[in-house]
Amino acid sequence: MQAKLKENQKFESELLNDFIIQKIQDSKGKNILKFDLTTLETPPADYFIICEADSANHVRSIAERVEKEIKIEQGWLPIHTNGKSLSTWIALDYFTTIVHVFHQETRKFYDLEALWEDAQITEYENE
C-alpha cells in the first residue's frame, strides 16, 4: 500500500512539473532546468524547477502565470511564496515542487545549480 501511494505521489508530481514547465515556456522563460532531488538525503522538496527572465517584470509575469494557471487547472495555491516585492527571485512552493523564477543576474549570483549539483538535472528547451 505504501509503495502504491508513493508511486501515485510521484506521478502527480511529474504531471505538476510538466504543467509548470509548459507555463514557463509559454511565458518565454529561459534556461529551464528541473532538479530531481528525490535521491538526495534530506532535500527541501522532491523537485526544483528553475528558470530565468530578462527583467523584474518578466520574472513577475512568469511567476504569476504559473500560480494562476495551477489555481485554475488544479485548484491549488502555493503553500508559500517569496520574493514578489523585488521580483529578482520569486519562489513558489508547491510542497513537492519549488519553482524558482530568477532574474539572470540573481540566478548567476545564487548559483543553485552548483549548490544542488548532486541532483538529477533535466534541461528543457525554450519554446
Q: What is the pLDDT of residues 37-74, one digit of tens each?
A: 999 998 999 999 999 999 999 999 999 999 999 999 88
CATH number of residue 76's parent domain: 3.30.460.10
Per-residue pLDDT of the chain (127 residues; tens, 9 = 90+): 334 334 445 658 888 999 999 999 999 999 999 999 999 998 999 999 999 999 999 999 999 999 999 999 888 899 999 999 999 999 999 999 999 999 999 999 999 999 999 999 999 987 6
Q: How far apart are CA 93 and CA 110, in angstroms?
A: 18
Whole-model pTM: value is: 0.90
Nearest alpha carbon to residue 105 among 89, 86, 125? 89
Indicate the number of domains in the chain: 1
Of 102, 24, 104, 30, nearest in space to 68 by CA: 24
In angstroms, what CA-CA distances link 21 with 1, 5, 8, 42, 85? 30, 24, 20, 24, 23
State how far the Cα of 25 lies from the Cα of 47, in Å rounded to an integer: 18
Q: Which domain holds residue 11?
A: 2-124
